[in-house]
Amino acid sequence: MAKTIPERSNVPAEHRWNLASLFSDDSEWERELVTFNAMILDAEKSRLSLGANRKAFLEILKAFEEYLILEERLGYYADLRVTEDEGNSIARGMLERYVNLSTQGQAAWSWLSPAIQMLDDDFFDSCLKDSAFENYRVFLSKLRRFKPHVLSEAEERLLALQSEAAQTPKDAFSVLTNVDFDFGTIEIPEGPKPLTQSTFAYFMRLPDRSVRRKAYLQFYASFEAHRHTLAALYAGSVKLDKYRAKVRKYPSARAMALFPDNVPEAVYDNLVSTVNKNIPALHHYYKLRKELLGLDSLRHYDVYNPLVQEIKIERSYEQAVNIVIEALRPLGEEYVSTLRRGLLGGWVDRYENKGKRSGAFSAGSFLGDPYILMNYKEDVLDDLFTIAHEGGHSMHSWYSARNNPFMCYGYTIFEAEVASTFNEQLVFSYLYENSKDDAEKAYLLANRIDNTLGTLFRQTMFAEFEQRVHEIAESGEAITVDVLRKEYRNLLERYFGPEMILENISDLEGLRIPHFYNAFYVYKYATGLSAGIALSERVLKGGKKEREDYLDFLKSGGSRFPIESLRLAGVDMSTPEPVEAACRRFAEDVEALSAILKAR
């Protein structure tokens, strides 16, 4: 891999993704965009033929499906072209034109969902029983569930018209914290470095405690100066959640958020109660951290710096792929051979180039390959895990698209993190079992502990905070800055335990989490990790049946609700056991890390 960052035009073709499974080139994309525009113009005409006529209804559904398939292809291609070089004005123009047409298309087809809800029950049921509707049965059944919460056409129009204005709290929070806030700079040996939302995590990982402390206090001073505005923005977002739930006849904002995935509220409650029951294991970890760092007192800015320094092992991209493939052998030949071909043969945009989007993601679609954006670095172990993680998403998409009709191939976010977490667990087991180096084992354990802490314990704490704040709003009490800080401080004290000494400004963290503006979302990270851990252990300890159960989960796509599909795979998220097992493994990892570090 080149040591300098190349221009996109200088990246070898074998290191880039091949987008031909979507479109052969930009010219074909342009031609299909014209077709897409024509489909949009025809959308309103379809409305005139909808009625108690199964044949006409079926033709409308087919037209809608064709529209959605082309919309997905066009959108994925344009977006991927932008991410490979965000300075490419041609690609950015393509994306802007697509977004413009897609918005028009959504408006043109907006009549369909309310019209389906208004269909006579007998007619609707006759359609579900008709084999000609096989490819639409799941889509229609899931959509019909919303009937009790759909309003009149006039009321739905009013709600739709206010949707843009309803983004104001979220948008204002983002602009305020990412643009208007000036956090200043922090002096480090290399010179002054800007303190921003992005660099804050960097400072919290530095070994110099005095630098961490200064960055922490300076960072939260900005939030303290604007605490009343931030509290008002979040309160406004919560009130909007309350309003939407009330007008759509849901018992609460949480019930409304969980309804689309048909997730029982008991799943949410089980997560919170089970994690709280296992908080002593978290307290033990913080006590160990304090001891290993040789601190008289543990502060909030002491919990993110690594206990084990990153190990440097040079691995080419191809070598990393080989390790991932060997680790995933328990999933069978079809899985690993397909993934190997994809990782080495056109799915992945491997390395950094000028203008390329940072980070990594998987972009799976119905007709195209499940593409992966990487910025692979040969000496960063985490990037090997990223290949496994994104490969899990891509194989989930690959199986889903090949085993379901388009209208129900898309899986939910609740399920999405299971496939990626599963792969990471298998790679960890492979590396750990094949390592003879205590330093490497310690690093692997420390890394997994940090991931579990951040995904299971921390996201559950966030979920608990969201629930509590919405309960306050729905009871009619005022949501003030003091109320928010009190509730968040109570959680900080409970989760960090007696070893932690919090600063007066520590509870301002509750005013800086962007996920809170998308209510009742973060719990899915914790449930996804728990399910991924449970299923990976089941497959590693099992045989053919356990493997096939898991592959059936990947194949199910969106044909079932997530709790049902996971139950068929072998894990029941309606019970506390998967979360309990994840907490037990966290405690075991802490003990194993402690033994290694204390023996050195």
Per residue in 29-87, pLDDT (tens digit) is 999 999 999 999 888 777 766 766 899 999 999 999 999 999 999 999 999 999 999 98
Local confidence band at 583 (pLDDT 50, 70, 90 cut-offs):
very high
pLDDT at 600: 73
pLDDT at 310: 79
Per residue in 136-150, pLDDT (tens digit) is 999 999 999 999 998
Q: Which residue has the higher pLDDT, 157 or 353?
A: 353
If you average pLDDT over residues 322-327, what whole number do you get?
98
Per residue in 152-165, pLDDT (tens digit) is 878 887 887 787 78
Per residue in 355-382, pLDDT (tens digit) is 999 899 999 999 999 999 999 999 989 9
What is the DSSP track for 174-224? HHIIIII----EEEETTEEEE--TTTHHHHHT-S-HHHHHHHHHHHHHHHH
Residue 1 has pLDDT above 60, yes or no: no
Q: Domains of the chain: which residue ranges?
A: 8-161, 227-311+385-600
If you average pLDDT over residues 310-318, what whole number do you get?
89
Local confidence band at 125 (pLDDT 50, 70, 90 cut-offs):
very high
User: Contact, 349 vs 409, CB < 8 A?
Assistant: no
Contacts of 243 (CB under 8 A, 6+ apart): none
Q: Is 466 a catalytic residue?
A: no
User: What tokens appear for 259 in the block?
Assistant: 């309804």
What is the average pLDDT value for the chain, to the nearest integer? 94
C-alpha–C-alpha distance, residues 244 and 156, integer Å: 11
- Residue 175: count other Cβ atoms within 10 Å of its Cβ: 11
| Cα–Cα separations (whole angstroms), residue 568 to 135, 200, 381, 573 | 22, 42, 33, 11
Residue 342 has pLDDT above 70, yes or no: yes
pLDDT at 528: 94
pLDDT at 49: 67
pLDDT at 431: 97
User: Contact, 530 vs 584, CB < 8 A?
Assistant: no
User: Contact, 234 vs 511, CB < 8 A?
Assistant: yes
User: Contact, 376 vs 349, CB < 8 A?
Assistant: no
Catalytic-labelled residue, pool 352, 390, 415, 499: 390
If you average pLDDT over residues 117-125, what whole number do you get?
92
C-alpha–C-alpha distance, residues 565 and 556, integer Å: 7
Local confidence band at 3 (pLDDT 50, 70, 90 cut-offs):
low
Q: Which CATH architecture fits 8-161?
A: Up-down Bundle (1.20)
* CATH label, 227-311+385-600, candidates 1.10.1300.10, 1.10.150.120, 1.10.1370.20, 1.10.10.10: 1.10.1370.20
pLDDT at 64: 95
Local confidence band at 106 (pLDDT 50, 70, 90 cut-offs):
confident
User: What tokens appear for 400 in the block?
Assistant: 């889903």
pLDDT at 162: 83
- The secondary element (H helix, E strand) that includes residue 98 is helix 89-108
Q: What is the CA radius of gyration of the chain?
A: 25
The single residue listed with the structure tokens 């029941």 is 572
pLDDT at 48: 66
Residue 300 has pLDDT above 60, yes or no: yes
Local confidence band at 2 (pLDDT 50, 70, 90 cut-offs):
very low
If you average pLDDT over residues 438-458, what whole number do you get?
95
Residue 309 has pLDDT above 90, yes or no: no
pLDDT at 51: 64
Residue 503 has pLDDT above 80, yes or no: yes
User: What tokens appear for 218 in the block?
Assistant: 């300076």
Contacts of 314 (CB under 8 A, 6+ apart): 378, 379
If you average pLDDT over residues 263-289, what whole number do you get?
97
Pick from 526, 416, 409: nearest CA to 466: 526
On the question of a common fold for 8-161 and 227-311+385-600, the answer reads no
pTM (two decimals): 0.92
Per residue in 543-553, pLDDT (tens digit) is 999 999 999 99
Query: How open is the CA angle 123-125-131, to the nearest 5 degrees?
Result: 105
pLDDT at 156: 81
